[in-house]
Amino acid sequence: MRIAIASDHAAVDLKAELREYLIELGHEVADLGPETADRVDYPDYGYLLASVIADGMAERGVALCGSGIGISIAVNRNPACRAALVSEPLSAALAREHNDANVIAMGARLIGSDMAKACIDAFLATGFGEGRHTGRVAKLSNPPA
């Protein structure tokens, strides 16, 4: 699977670790930056990740910042993206099964690397449940005027 990963400065170390983990699992990974812990703005990287997902250049995304909140908000500004902020594997699996999430967001200051890897495993192993969820998910990309 092609997976895009992006962070802000607060999550650059976790991003590097998760990038290597995803490569070890056999995925093709697009690291969208940043490369250093120099201060950057999470919306810039969230918007970049969202555009890569929306353009079909990656099937899934991993978005990281200090809390995971800001970058998930930025990603979700793109109607083609459904980013879910998670902190444990059950919410990661439910985000896929019920919401067809295509981006997982996590907070580097709130989650350890082992838990982040467990969340990624659950996120990637779970399919969309379809059925009663399909109409609801369609509404996420088409809000009423």
Determine if residue 39 is labeled as part of a ligand binding site: no
φ, ψ (nearest 5 deg) of residue 53: -65, -50
CB 2 within 8 A of CB 58: yes
Determine if residue 136 is labeled as part of a ligand binding site: yes
Determine if residue 133 is labeled as part of a ligand binding site: no
Determine if residue 99 is labeled as part of a ligand binding site: yes
CB 81 within 8 A of CB 53: yes
Determine if residue 56 is labeled as part of a ligand binding site: no
What token pair was written down for 33?
């930056």
DSSP element (H, E) containing 134 = helix 132-140
Determine if residue 61 is labeled as part of a ligand binding site: no
* Of 89, 38, 43, residue with least CA distance to 63: 43
Determine if residue 70 is labeled as part of a ligand binding site: yes
Point out the residues that are catalytic: 65, 98
Query: Is the torsion defined by CA of 21, 22, 25, 29 positive or negative?
Result: negative
Residue positions forming the annotated binding site for D-ribulose 5-phosphate? 8-9, 66-70, 99, 109, 132, 136
